[in-house]
Amino acid sequence: MSDADFERIKRLQQERNAQKGLKSFDTAAKATNSAKASLTENFDTAVYGRDGDDKFAGYNKSIAVNGGPDDDDDHEMGDFDDTRRLVGQYTASRAQIDEFANTGRDDDMITSREKQAQIASRESDYQKRRFDRGPLTPTRADPFAENVQNGTRYRDTMASRELEREEARVQKLIADKQTNGELTHKEHKPTLKEDTSDKENAQAGSTVDAASGAGRKRKQRWDIPAADSTPTEDTTKKRSRWDVTAAPDEEAAPSRRSRWDMAPAVGGETPRVAQGLATPAHPSQAGVVSFGTDVSARNAPLSDEDLDFLLPGEKEGYKILEPPPGYEPLRVSVRRTVPTPSAAAGASGYGGFMMQEPETIQALGKQLPTNIPGVGELPFFKPEDMTYFGKLFDGADENDLSVEELKERKIARLLLKVKNGTPSQRKSSLRSLTDSAKAFGAGPLFNQILPLLMEKSLEDQERHLLVKVIDRILWKLSEDVRPYVHRILVVIEPLLIDQDYYARVEGREIISNLAKAAGLATMISTMRPEIDHADEYVRNTTARAFAVVASALGISSLLPFLRAVCRSKKSWHARHTGVKIVQQIAILVGAACLPNLPALIDCIAANLSDEQAKVRTVTSLAIAALAEACSPYGIESFDPILNPLWTGARKQRGKGLAGYLKAIGYIIPLMDEEYANYYTSQIMEIVIREYASADEEMKRICCQVTISINRANGITPMYLREHVVDEFFKAFWVKRTALDRRILRSVVDTTIDLAQKVGGAEIVERLWPHLKEENEPYRKMTVETIEKIIASLGTADFGERLEEHLIDGMLFAFQEQTVEDPVLLNGFGTLVNALGERMKPYFPQVVSTMLFRLGHRTPVCRQQSADLISRTVKTLARCGEDDLVIKLGQVLYEYLGEEYPEVLGSILGALRSIVACVRIDQMQPPIKDLLLRVAPILRNRHEKVQENAIDLVGRIAEFAPTAVGSKEMVRIGWEMTEMLKAHKKGIRRAANNTFGYIAKAIGPSDVLAVLLSQLRVSERQSRVCAAVAIAIVAEACGPFSTLPVLMNEYRTPELNVRTGTLKALSFLTEYIGELSKDYVYALIPLLEDALTDRDQVHRQSSANIISHLGTTLAGLGCEDAMVHLLSLLWPNIFETSPHVIDRVIDAINGIRQSVGTGIIMNYTLAGLFSPARKVRQPYHRIYNLMYVQSADSMIPYYPELGEEFYARPELDVVI
Amino acid sequence: MADKLRAQQQLEQLQARYIGTTHPDTTKFEWTSNIMRDSYASYVGHQPLLHYMAIGYGEPKEKIRAFFLNKMIQPVGKPPEVQE
């Protein structure tokens, strides 16, 4: 090591020491002091000594190879590990762990469903950090309001954030020390010698008291006052016991809140309990306090009188101090006074022995009420709800309550109904909450809603409903929400990183509404303090929220702010968040960021050369996101950053480089071809070098960059063949790739993409050897890739050798599979079909394999084989191997006794494809035998069997109508009526089609008899399907064969039959289209009767028929019939039932198509300005529809209004 | 109730999109203005019709077009005074 290097490292070490305050000699000294040697790092240091104090000195720590807590990639939230290692850790990748973590959850039978429904139980640790932010942050003052209310000012918030950052810094120092083992020996020191203030600080976990022994005067916890002034400062701030009973109406700005007030467990803010929110403890959970065990009186706070009595007063020269400004007593203790002792006594048993009292058992078994006073019966009521809605049970007289309390109760009731109520309760409560939002006021509403949203046992449905409530009231409240913006954001921001897509959308919607209601200035002033928040979680969510605000209020309005943040000199956190906002904007708005692209890039350009590695990385990722979003435009905006990006990519290593590569990879497709060529050849060197990287992330990005460059025309197939393909295969087509699903996907995609450029044969040539690897997932991956390449590029360029190898490899992979996988089935099927006639020499082998596997003992194997037959048999027939097809048919016929329904279904499917491609007279067994064998299978209850069996019957009826007697067919038709009420749509559809084929084969009369009988049954499903089937029969055999039967059937005096007939007619008119021209006049008497019937369904169905007739017969000369029908139809416009009125309006629209606008206009004008509103209303609806659809054709038909103003003399011009 | 609400919302949406649509409380002034404007727009939009009218009036086509366009401003006079 040269002297210069030595000097440099020494200087770096010193800097780091100054920063971290580490004293290595100290640690060594302490370690030797202890009697037992603890096996910590210190031990090493003590034994072996160390000349530097930082063992990582000399290693470049600025590049986070494995990612720090600030992981910038969006897909990898929480995918980090904190420890730095010098050697690689051989363990499952994060993706794998996550994968198994997810699959394992569903299998867990012990976890109750209820638990699974809860959002909190599904969240990752990172997402759970939302609970670290208090439920109710203080309200903010609204500087835009006319009279500024009390609330935290911007300055106060900034100050408190500053404080938090400082605290986090110190906490981190302490944590560092503790991990280094420096604080472990504290308790052996004599406490009396310690400074008392220090001792307290140590308990609060706030001071670096280790430093006190260091001999050097350390900075104190609050670095504002000088060290010597600390004692006096402390006494003034010291908590006095009077504060416990401080008046609750004390409302001071909580700036500079003293740390004394903080509950030790809570991380962020002091949980201030808002006034009126101190809900009583759960009465149900409190249990019954048995006699003599209630110690609450003893634990109750002392009153002022008690204190005056106990302590010396002013006469003795003492003074009662005022509570320090900003101090707020913890109300929690007050709330807990009653339940805590009894719970402790009951649950953990240290309250002494206690006999179980009978009433206690009763109390434990007490059901939670579902009938809430003033609310009514609710579907459910959870114990957690008691916390929030308990006050509804206290039975207070409403007359004694103040207006505020009444309001609060009203809100609570409405919210409870929204959250737990039935849909109708929910609907009406939601509406009344919305309508009276202004009257309730923002404060009381949000004070109740927001804590509910932070409840740990919240479920998806509840969250959705509450979010909906917020959404609705935001609109109504508009600028009244300003003081509560931060509170709402704290609760809503976590939605932005939820796993559930709809939750994210919901969160975005709320935040954008909030931004519109509160205005940009409020949003910025509220979120500004969070931008350099100490907690990464807060910064991340804030960046996402800012992106939403930008998309809601326009990116350009946010630009000045963004520019300032991205250039912040004060903290790199702010710059990091600023760049992240830009990234999120790009992801969120996509191509809509194009107009602001130059400005956005200008914002973040300087950050590419930031001194912080994390900022550089996130900047490159943001650029990648921008380039991806605005592709294929906007290259000129990227010009200024190309150079830094370029030089940066050459300098970087590790994670930083990954981001740079990604950015360049996305920018190159935007470039002109010649530029792209140049940059590509340069970047590919680096990409190819990084192919060999061990980092999964890097590998994925390399794949991504290869794809995007490949698509950018910047690269010739020649270049790819010579430089890329070999390297790519060497690095990625190894067995290890198949283990990680994410890398597998990228490799498969990239390979397919390369194949598009260099040709399928070139790639498949390299792939086939992998088909015979012993690693099954790897074989599968290969098959999948080959399948996709063949599917998109075909096999025209495959040589004979390659063909042989490929078939051989595929057969091997197919036979050797241990778990039957659709991938192999698809792969083989695609290959066979793509090769087509070239498959001929290989078919004997393939067929024998299929036959062998058809008799295999595992059902999945048989099923797969049958599926393969149904896919390949067409090609088999094309190769002229009819004998083989027939042989397969014979074997399959023998296997029809299969007991596994899944397999049977596949066998039937295979038979169907055979029937479709072989000559019927050659079929073995004879088609009649096959049909007779299949008929009983129709009774099988399994859906797959049913569907395939019906399909097979349909095919037989279609291809061999004469092969089977009509009696047999009718019998099968009767069997199939059962299927008309199947749950699966595919079965019903197959049955309907088959009815059509059968009718075509044997004539409509018998089939119609079967179907008409189905109109009489009670299930609606059957009737509807029969109606559809009748229409299909009519379409297949011509309407003249069906219509008379239907019209005759309509005369049956039975409601179901008549409506069924009408329904059949409506499908019929829809299916036969213009053919109905010949039948309109025949239909008119029937329609007249139906339109004048009392029954609504009659009129509805006939209106449906008319709308089909009207639309299909436009211009076919049936206007007289249409006008006649219109006259009968018109009175129905006053129907109120939504189904009926919709059909009627449709019918009028349909008639308008054939008779033109004028006649309808005539009808409409009659009632458009009727004095009765009830009459006007439907007329206006018709008028509007007409106006929307054919406004122009209405012009000639507007009425003459008879006044000079309204005259349209232009229309009277005659030449 | 819900249907009524939905119908109301649909109507509002419709009216936001198409100015000429009506509702039960449309005034004579609104309706007639829309009729006139639609008529003029239609004349101007159909070239053959405009040509025909121009010949009938014995004026150049462009002049008639400008005339029609100008007529679209307050086609039925000033809006009625709003009564308090």
Cβ atoms within 10 Å, residue A1054: 11
**Single residue among A494, A518, A542 that ends a domain in this structure:** A518
Establish if B62 belongs to a structural domain. Answer: yes
Instruction: Kindly indicate the confidence band of residue A179, based on its pLDDT and cuts at 50, 70 and 90.
Output: confident
Instruction: Kindly indicate the confidence band of residue A991, based on its pLDDT and cuts at 50, 70 and 90.
Output: confident
**What distances in angstroms separate CA A1184 from CA A304, A527, A1176, one per listed residue?**
75, 46, 12
Q: Do A1195 and B53 touch (CB under 8 A)?
A: no
Residue B29 phi/psi, 5-degree rounding, is: -60, -50
* Cross-strand partners of A38: none
Q: Do B53 and A1191 touch (CB under 8 A)?
A: no
Spell out which residues of chain A touch residue B35, defining contact as CB-CB under 8 Å: 1198, 1206
- DSSP 3-state of A1147: helix
Is A1207 an 8 Å CB contact of chain B?
no
Query: Containing H/E element for B32?
Result: helix B28-45
Q: At residue A1110, what is the residue type? A: G
Q: What pLDDT is attached to residue A601?
A: 93
pLDDT, tens digit, 9 for 90 and up, residues A793-813:
999 989 999 999 999 999 999
**What are A430's two structure tokens?**
């939601």
Q: What pLDDT is attached to residue A354?
A: 55
Classify the C-alpha dihedral A898-A902-A908-A910 as positive or negative: negative
* Cross-strand partners of A376: A372
What angle is formed at CA A192 by the lines to CA A188 and CA A195, rounded to 5 degrees? 100
Residue A180 reports pLDDT greater than 70? yes
Q: What is the CATH number of the domain that holds A507?
A: 1.25.10
Instruction: Kindly indicate the confidence band of residue A863, based on its pLDDT and cuts at 50, 70 and 90.
Output: very high
Establish if A446 belongs to a structural domain. Answer: yes
Stretch among A455-459, A638-642, A1142-1146, A1196-1200 having the lowest mean pLDDT: A455-459
Query: Containing H/E element for A371?
Result: strand A371-372
Phi-psi sector, A137: left (phi>0), alpha (psi -120 to 50), beta: beta
Q: At residue A254, what is the residue type? A: P
Establish if A1174 belongs to a structural domain. Answer: yes
Stretch among A298-307, A455-464, A499-508, B20-29 having the lowest mean pLDDT: A298-307
SS3 letters across A993-1043: HHHHHHHHHHCHHHHHHHHHHHCCCCCHHHHHHHHHHHHHHHHHHCHHHHH
Measured CA to CA, the distance from residue A676 to residue A716 in angstroms comes to 11
Q: What pLDDT is attached to residue A244?
A: 45
Cβ atoms within 10 Å, residue A1020: 11
Residue A1172 phi/psi, 5-degree rounding, is: -90, 125
pLDDT, tens digit, 9 for 90 and up, residues A997-1051:
888 888 888 888 888 888 888 788 888 888 888 988 888 888 898 899 999 999 9
Chain B CA closest to residue A1207: B36
Establish if A77 belongs to a structural domain. Answer: no
Q: Find all residues with CB under 8 Å of B26, minimum gap 6, and list them.
A: A1180
Q: What pLDDT is attached to residue B84?
A: 58
Environment class of residue A988 by beta-carbon count within 10 Å: exposed (0-12), middle (13-18) or buried (19+)?
Answer: buried
* Cross-strand partners of A377: A371
pLDDT, tens digit, 9 for 90 and up, residues A557-614:
999 999 999 999 888 999 999 999 999 999 999 888 899 999 999 999 999 888 888 9
Length of chain A: 1215
Helices (H), A532-571: 536-553, 555-566
Residue A914 reports pLDDT greater than 60? yes
Cβ atoms within 10 Å, residue A393: 15
Is A1128 within 8 Å of A1086 (Cβ atoms)?
A: no
Establish if B36 belongs to a structural domain. Answer: yes
Rounded to 10 deg, the angle between the A1173-1194 and A1157-1168 helix axes is: 150
Residue with tokens 């995609």: A749
Q: What pLDDT is attached to residue A723?
A: 85
Spell out which residues of chain B touch residue A1211, defining contact as CB-CB under 8 Å: 39
Number of domains, chain B: 1
**What are A87's two structure tokens?**
């050697």
Task: Tell which wins on pLDDT, A338 or A799.
Answer: A799
- DSSP annotation of A23: -
Instruction: Kindly indicate the confidence band of residue A825, based on its pLDDT and cuts at 50, 70 and 90.
Output: very high
**Single residue among A496, A518, A540 that ends a domain in this structure:** A518
Q: What pLDDT is attached to residue A367?
A: 55
Cβ atoms within 10 Å, residue A445: 26
SS3 letters across A656-722: HHHHHHHHHHHHHHHCCHHHHHHHHHHHHHHHHHHHCCCCHHHHHHHHHHHHHHHHCCCCCHHHHHH
Establish if A509 belongs to a structural domain. Answer: yes
**What distances in angstroms separate CA A959 from CA A876, A914, A1037, one per listed residue?**
19, 12, 16
pLDDT, tens digit, 9 for 90 and up, residues A474-516:
888 888 888 899 989 998 999 999 888 998 999 999 999 999 8
Is A45 within 8 Å of A594 (Cβ atoms)?
A: no
Task: Tell which wins on pLDDT, A178 or A66.
Answer: A178
Counting residues of chain A whose pLDDT is more than 90, the rounded percentage is: 32
Measured CA to CA, the distance from residue A655 to residue A613 in angstroms comes to 9
Mean pLDDT of A962-989: 84
In 3D, which of A798, A1209, A367 has the Cα closest to residue B36?
A: A1209
What residue numbers bound the domain in which B65 lies? 29-76
Is A937 within 8 Å of A945 (Cβ atoms)?
A: yes
Residue A83 reports pLDDT greater than 60? no
Spell out which residues of chain A touch residue B55, defining contact as CB-CB under 8 Å: 1215
Residue among B11, B35, B56 minimizing CB distance to A1213: B56
Establish if A1211 belongs to a structural domain. Answer: yes
**Single residue among A518, A533, A562 that ends a domain in this structure:** A518
Number of domains, chain A: 2
Query: Containing H/E element for A1135?
Result: none
- DSSP annotation of A283: H
pLDDT, tens digit, 9 for 90 and up, residues A733-770:
998 888 888 889 999 999 999 999 898 999 999 999 99
Classify the C-alpha dihedral A592-A594-A596-A601 as positive or negative: positive
Q: What pLDDT is attached to residue A1194?
A: 93
Establish if A1053 belongs to a structural domain. Answer: no
Establish if A412 belongs to a structural domain. Answer: yes
**What distances in angstroms separate CA A114 from CA A102, A117, A384, A445, A454, one per listed residue?**
17, 5, 13, 28, 18
Q: Find all residues with CB under 8 Å of A1203, minimum gap 6, and list them.
A: none
Residue A377 phi/psi, 5-degree rounding, is: -75, 135
Measured CA to CA, the distance from residue A707 to residue A665 in angstroms comes to 9
Q: Find all residues with CB under 8 Å of A707, minimum gap 6, and list them.
A: A749, A750, A753
**What distances in angstroms separate CA A1024 from CA A579, A851, A950, A959, A1028, one per listed residue?**
59, 43, 19, 28, 6
Measured CA to CA, the distance from residue A968 to residue A953 in angstroms comes to 11
Spell out which residues of chain B touch residue A1208, defining contact as CB-CB under 8 Å: 36, 39
Task: Tell which wins on pLDDT, A377 or A895.
Answer: A895
**What are A1207's two structure tokens?**
């005259």
**What distances in angstroms separate CA A350 from CA A291, A343, A355, one per listed residue?**
16, 10, 13
Start-to-end C-alpha separation, chain A? 106
Q: Do A1215 and B24 touch (CB under 8 A)?
A: no
Q: Do A1180 and B23 touch (CB under 8 A)?
A: yes
Mean pLDDT of A1154-1176: 93
Measured CA to CA, the distance from residue A753 to residue A1143 in angstroms comes to 51
In 3D, which of A670, A615, A614, A684 has the Cα closest to residue A642?
A: A670
Q: What pLDDT is attached to residue A514?
A: 92
Q: What pLDDT is attached to residue A1035?
A: 85
Rounded to 10 deg, the angle between the A822-835 and A859-878 helix axes is: 10
Residue A199 reports pLDDT greater than 80? no
Q: What pLDDT is attached to residue A343?
A: 41
Residue A203 reports pLDDT greater than 60? no
Q: What pLDDT is attached to residue A870?
A: 93
Measured CA to CA, the distance from residue A538 to residue A165 in angstroms comes to 12
Task: Tell which wins on pLDDT, A1190 or A357.
Answer: A1190
Establish if B8 belongs to a structural domain. Answer: no
Length of chain B: 84
Classify the C-alpha dihedral A1153-A1158-A1164-A1166 as positive or negative: negative
Is A305 within 8 Å of A408 (Cβ atoms)?
A: no
Residue among A427, A1188, A1213 minimizing CB distance to B21: A1188
In 3D, which of A486, A594, A596, A472 has the Cα closest to residue A541?
A: A486
Residue among A1188, A1201, A1206 minimizing CB distance to B18: A1188
Residue A668 phi/psi, 5-degree rounding, is: -55, -40
**How many A-B residue pairs are in contact by the CB < 8 A criterion?**
58
Is B1 within 8 Å of A424 (Cβ atoms)?
A: no
Establish if A503 belongs to a structural domain. Answer: yes
In whole numbers, what is the pLDDT of chain A averaged over residues? 79
What residue numbers bound the domain in which A473 lies? 381-518
Residue A1061 reports pLDDT greater than 70? yes
Measured CA to CA, the distance from residue A528 to residue A158 in angstroms comes to 8
Q: Do A1206 and B3 touch (CB under 8 A)?
A: no
Establish if B39 belongs to a structural domain. Answer: yes
Stretch among A37-51, A172-186, A338-352, A879-893 having the lowest mean pLDDT: A338-352
Measured CA to CA, the distance from residue A255 to residue A250 in angstroms comes to 14
Q: Find all residues with CB under 8 Å of A232, minimum gap 6, and list them.
A: none
Task: Tell which wins on pLDDT, A91 or A477.
Answer: A477
Residue A23 phi/psi, 5-degree rounding, is: -125, 105
- DSSP 3-state of A448: helix
Q: How far is A417 from chain B, CA to nearest CA, in Å?
A: 18
Specify the pTM. 0.61
Is A1176 an 8 Å CB contact of chain B?
yes
Q: What pLDDT is attached to residue A270?
A: 45
Query: Containing H/E element for A372?
Result: strand A371-372
Task: Tell which wins on pLDDT, A60 or A1030.
Answer: A1030
Spell out which residues of chain B touch residue A1180, defining contact as CB-CB under 8 Å: 22-24, 26
Q: What pLDDT is attached to residue A993?
A: 87
Q: What pLDDT is attached to residue B66?
A: 94
Counting residues of chain A whose pLDDT is more than 70, the rounded percentage is: 76
Spell out which residues of chain A touch residue B20, defining contact as CB-CB under 8 Å: 1187, 1191
Q: What pLDDT is attached to residue A1079?
A: 92
CA A449, distance to chain mean position in Å, is 23
Instruction: Kindly indicate the confidence band of residue A1163, based on its pLDDT and cuts at 50, 70 and 90.
Output: very high
